[in-house]
Amino acid sequence: MGKYDALFSPMKVGTVEVKNRFALMPMGIHSARLVNPDGSFTDDGIRYYERIAEGGVGLIITSAITVQGKFDNSKGSHSSLDKAGPEYIERSQKLTDRIHKAGSKIFLQLSGGSGRTLPMMVAEGEPIAASDDMPNVWDPSIKHRGLTKDEIQFYIDSFAHGAKLAKEAGFDGVEIHAIHEGYLIDQFTIAFFNRRMDEYGGNLEGRLLFPKKIVEAIKEACGNDFPVSVRFSVRSMIKDFNSGAIPGEDFIEAGRDLEEGIQAAQLLEKYGYDMLNGDNGTYDSWWYPHPPVYMPEACNLEDCAEVQKHVSIPVLCAGRMENPAIALDAVESGKVSGVGIARQFLADPDYCNKLKEGNVEDIRPCIACHEGCLKRIFKGQDMCCALNPAVCREDTYELKPAMSKKKVMVIGGGIGGMEAARVCALRGHEVTLYEKTDKLGGMFIPASGMTFKESDKRLIAWYERQMDKCGVAVYMNTTVTDKLIQKETPDVVFRATGSIPRELNLPGVENDYVLNAVEALNHPEKVKGDIVIVGGGLTGIEIAYDHAKNGENVTVLEAMDKALNVDIAAANLLYLKEAIKYYKIPIVTNANITSFENNVVTYNISGKEENVHADTVIISIGYTSNPQVNDSGAEFYTIGDADHVSNLLGAIWSAYEQAMNV
C-alpha cells in the first residue's frame, strides 16, 4: 500500500472509467503551430497531450475549441469545429489513439466563445453577450448586444455537431465550457449579466436553459452513454463589473453565490451532465480560475466540496491543487471526487508517476507565476512554461545525449546556473558548479522570502536535489577567478553570475534603516515600524502587499507616473491592483526622492517638497547585470541576468537552450 493510493483509485465519469483521480485542466493551446483551423491538433499539439498522458494522468481535458466561428471570433484563436471536414476525424483519431495507448482517457472541451470577455482589439466578430449593453471586460466603453433566440439555437446545434465529431474521432467524452469564468454561456447563467426578458432569462432555471438544451442535444446526438462534463464556477466572487473580491474579504456577491451555485449544480445533474469540473470566479475576479502566487493553495476547494455534498456525480476541484497532501485529503475525505491540475503538469508532466512512486521531492513545483503559460497565451504566443521550456515543443527541445563528453564549468549557483548544470549533466557532460556564497539559489533566495512564495522555496530545494542526483560537483564559498578557470581547463564555461540591486546616491542612503530589496527580503528582522518603499515596480509592490496584509503601515513612492507598469500576466496584475485597494496601500507617483535623513524620506512632486516618516526604507528600483568574470579561451556562454536582467523564465530558458546544444 502506498501513501497516495486514494489518488490512484479509479473514478467513473458516466460510463467511462478513469484510472485515477487526476485530470489535466484545459489550457489554451490556440496557436497555428498547435491546432489546425478545423479544431484538430497538429503533431506538436498531439505530442503535448501525449507527453502528459505518459506522465500518468487519468483524464485529459483538451483546450477549448469553439463550436463555430460565426460569432465572437478572435484572431488569436483561428480554429473552430464548423470548419471540420473528413480530415478532422483522421487527425483527431491520431490524438485519441496515442492518449489511449498511454493509458489515459481524453475529453474534448467545446466552447461557445467569449462574449463580453473577448478583447475586442483582437476580435474579428461583433461584440455579443447574453443580453444588451453588457460592457466589455477589457474596454468597458464597448457594449455587447444580446444573442437572438435563433442564434442561441445555432449554438446548441453546433455543440451537438461538435460532440458527434468528437465521438467519431475517439474522444471518451466532451466537456462544455459553459458555466465558467464568465464566458459567453456563463453570462447567460448569472443574473448580473443576464437581463433578458425571454425564456433564457429570469429565474435560475431560465438562465440555465441554454446549457440545459446543449446537453440534451448532445445526448440525443451521441447517446446517453457518451459522457458530458461541464466546466463550472461555483461562485462568481465579484462585487461589480471588473471588480473582484480578495480572499477573506467581506463583500456582497453580485454574481452567483454559494447557495445558487449548489442549486445550479443540482439542476445540471438533473439535466444530464455527468461531471462538474469546478472552481470559482469570472474574468472580473480572474485570480480564482487562474490563481497567481498571491492566492492561497486550494483556493476553491471548500466551495467545490460543498457542491459535492449535494450531487451524486463526480466533482473535480481546480485551483492550486498540486500540493500532494492537500490533494490526498480532498479525495480521501470525500470532499471532492477528483483533482484538477493544470500548470503543475507543465512544470512537471511526470507529476502523477512520481507521486505514485513516492518520489515527491523529485516533482518540480509550479510557482504559479503565469509567465510561460497564461501570459504567453494572451499575447498570441505558444503556451509553454517558465520552468520547463520543453512544453509544447517536446520533440525539438528533448534532451539528447551529447555527441562528445565535455568538461563544463558553471559560475554561479542561482537558478540559471543550476539549470545549465542540470541540463549539461543529464546530457552526459562532466559538470562542476561554483557558488561564491554558502547557499544555492542566487537572487531567487530573496525572491522566495515573501510569505506567499513557499513554492519558490520548494523550487530552490528541487534544484539543490537535482545537483546531487545529476552528479554535479558543487563548490560553495568559492569565487571564480581567471586563474581558477585556467587551472581547471574547462571545455565550456557558463557565466551565470546574476545581477545586483541598483543603488541611489542620495543623502542618508548609508543609514542602517535604509535597505535595498535584497537586504530587506533576506533579513526580515531589519524591517520594522513605518515602511517606505522606493519603487513601485513588481518587487516593490509585492513587498508592500506582503507587509500590508500583515497589518503593517506601508507607503510606496514611485518616480514614474504609474506604479505596476510591468509586463506580467493579467491575472497577477489584476489581483495586485485589487489588493492595493483592499489593503489601502498609499502609492505616490511622480515622486522624486531627494534624501533619507532622520527617519524622514523627502521627495518632490512638481516642485513641491513632501515628507513621509520611515522607520524602514526599502529601495526597490531594479537590478543590473553582474558579469564578474571575463570570457576565457573556452567555449563561453553568459546566461540569465548576467547577460541581461530578465526574470525566472529568461534565466531558465537561456540556460536550457544553451546547455541543450553543448
Active-site positions read: 183
CA 26 to chain centre: 12
Quote the CA–CA distance of 215 and 106 in Å, as a whole number.
18
Tell me which residue of 432, 445, 443 sits closest to 493, measured CA to CA: 432
* Contacts with 196 (C-beta within 8 Å, 6 or more apart), sequence order: 130, 131, 146, 188, 202, 206
End-to-end alpha carbon distance in the chain: 43
Tell me which residue of 515, 514, 581 sits closest to 548, measured CA to CA: 581
Q: How far lies 448's CA from each of 445, 517, 522, in Å?
A: 5, 12, 9
- Long-range contacts, stretch 66-69, CB < 8 angstroms, 24+ apart: 66/39, 66/110, 66/111, 66/112, 66/113, 67/110, 67/111, 67/112, 67/155, 67/158, 67/159, 67/161, 67/162, 68/154, 68/155, 68/158
Quote the CA–CA distance of 422 and 426 in Å, as a whole number.
6
* Lookup: cell for 155: 449554438
Tell me which residue of 593, 653, 598 sits closest to 621, measured CA to CA: 593
Check residue 440 and report its DSSP letter: S
Quote the CA–CA distance of 128 and 223 in Å, as a whole number.
31
- Order of strands across the sheet with 514-516? 514-516, 616-619, 531-534, 554-557, 587-588
* Lookup: cell for 183: 464566458
Helices (H), 102-135: none
Please give the backbone phi and psi of residue 82, each rounded to the nearest 5 degrees, phi first: -70, -10
Quote the CA–CA distance of 584 and 622 in Å, as a whole number.
24
Check residue 284 and report its DSSP letter: G
Quote the CA–CA distance of 326 and 427 in Å, as a whole number.
35
**How many residues can be counted in the chain?**
662
138, 143, 144, 145 alpha-carbon torsion, rounded to 10°: 180
Quote the CA–CA distance of 497 and 636 in Å, as a whole number.
13
Place of cell 432555471: 205
33, 36, 41, 42 alpha-carbon torsion, rounded to 10°: -50
In this structure, how many other beta carbons lie within 10 angstroms of the beta carbon of residue 399?
15
H or E element, residue 128: strand 128-129
Cβ distance 176 to 108 under 8 Å? no
Cβ distance 147 to 130 under 8 Å? yes
Q: How far lies 478's CA from each of 127, 411, 494, in Å?
A: 61, 9, 15
In this structure, how many other beta carbons lie within 10 angstroms of the beta carbon of residue 309?
11
Place of cell 463555430: 68
